[in-house]
Amino acid sequence: MSVKKPALKTIFLTGLLVLVPFAITLWVLGLIIGLMDQTLLLLPDKWQPVRLIGMRVPGLGVIVTLAFVFLVGLLSHNFIGQKLVLWWEAILIRIPVVGPLYGSVKQVSDTLLSSSGEAFRRALLVRYPHGDSWTIAFLTGAPRGDIVNHLQGDDYVSVYVPTTPNPTSGFFLMMKASDVIELNMSVDVALKYIVSMGVVAPVNNSRHSHTGPLL
């Protein structure tokens, strides 16, 4: 029995399926490394690697940036470092324009990066953009301030609905907690599902989602 040879088109598409993800990964890594290498420009001219060793070393900026972040984190963990950070922040807050901007950015970063926070820790299923369709969202917290005075009668949660295939843009919504379904799915898996436009389907680990309170 003769084996049918694959068509040239099939072979070509197979090659694309192998190379395209690899090429895109290299491209993204190149952008990240190139961007982080730009941090070397902040060094004094006499400390530039080109001056010291006579050549440009790709990726050196990544090492320098990671080492600097680690050093700042290490210093901020002791008493003196914490006092210096508070002193520096007190100066920034008093600067017009810079102060409000820094305060807003710090509040968002503290919320997102805090290990004890609830922001972006849970994947949800919500009705959007209308009642007959569903999409994946992420819990960001609960409404605060004067908004709570206008949302009486029900418990509300704040959610972020990312767009596809770029999850860094999206929509911020406040929805009734009873209209939100918490998924038995990690945030990483949910992001892969969103970015792939539903192609990379998550594994069904359980028939039921979490039913406990969201906040």
* Cβ atoms 194, 164 nearer than 8 A: yes
- DSSP, res 146: G
Mean pLDDT across 84-91 = 83
pLDDT score at 112: 61
Q: What is the mean pLDDT of residues 78-98?
A: 82
Burial of 20 (0-12, 13-18, 19+ CB in 10 A): exposed
64-84 tens-digit pLDDT: 888 888 888 888 777 777 788
Mean pLDDT of 36-40: 77
| Residue 199: per-residue pLDDT | 82
> Tens digits of per-residue pLDDT, 123-148?
999 999 888 999 999 998 888 888 88
Which among 168, 104, 172, 116 has a CA at the least distance from the CA of 139?
A: 172
What pLDDT was estimated at residue 117? 57
Give residue 208's pLDDT. Answer: 45
Q: What is the pLDDT of residue 207?
A: 46
Identify the pLDDT of residue 15: 82
129 or 109, greater pLDDT: 129
* Dist. CA 69–CA 64, nearest whole Å: 9
* pLDDT for residue 215: 61
pLDDT tens digits along 168-211: 889 999 999 999 999 998 888 898 888 888 887 777 655 444 54
In this structure, what token pair is assigned to residue 177?
């907690």
| Alpha helix (H) residue ranges in the chain | 8-37, 49-53, 60-75, 79-93, 98-113, 187-195
Query: Quick one: pLDDT at residue 82?
Result: 79
Q: What type of residue is 158? A: S
Average pLDDT of the chain is 80
Q: Please check the confidence at residue 3 and state whether its pLDDT lies above 60.
A: no
- Helices 79-93 & 98-113, crossing angle to 10 degrees? 140
Task: Specify the pLDDT at position 59.
Answer: 75
